[in-house]
Amino acid sequence: NAGVTQTPKFQVLKTGQSMTLQCAQDMNHEYMSWYRQDPGMGLRLIHYSVGAGITDQGEVPNGYNVSRSTTEDFPLRLLSAAPSQTSVYFCASSYSRQGSDEKLFFGSGTQLSVL
């Protein structure tokens, strides 16, 4: 059971470049989300999705786009990377929010540097 898989693990971009961080889960989770982790800031929610075709913004959505065409995949797109987007990115998923055992399962993270 792979759980939540994120790719790539490391990425270096130049300012203005675009890229997509991939996230896939094989647990049939309805809920998927993206967080960024910065020193002293904890984990901040970027975007989340409660099912295929449904996405919404979190605390820090600017500069990022998402889509959810399938239950399994939830890619995060940076259209024009900026140095302020240098961070560690985590994808997370969970069962329905109504479940009694609901908790977030995290991917292993992507370390992104924007020069």
Partner 1 sequence: AQKVTQAQTEISVVEKEDVTLDCVYETRDTTYYLFWYKQPPSGELVFLIRRNSFDEQNEISGRYSWNFQKSTSSFNFTITASQVVDSAVYFCALGSSGTYKYIFGTGTRLKVLA
Interface residue list for partner 1 (CB under 8 A): 31, 33, 35, 40-45, 48, 50, 56, 58-59, 88, 90, 92, 97-98, 101-106, 108-109
Q: In the bound complex, what is the minimum distance in angstroms from residue 72's beta carbon to partner 1?
A: 18
> Is the CB of 26 or the CB of 56 nearer to partner 1?
56
Residue 83's SS3 state is: helix
Q: In the bound complex, what is the minimum distance in angstroms from residue 18's beta carbon to partner 1?
A: 25
> Is the CB of 20 or the CB of 57 nearer to partner 1?
57
* Residue 85 Cα distances to 100, 102, 110, 113, angstroms: 35, 30, 12, 8
- Asked if 79 and 65 touch (Cβ cutoff 8 Å), the reply is yes
> Is the CB of 19 or the CB of 50 nearer to partner 1?
50
Q: How many CB atoms lie within 10 A of CB 51?
A: 13
100 phi and psi, to 5 degrees?
A: -75, -15
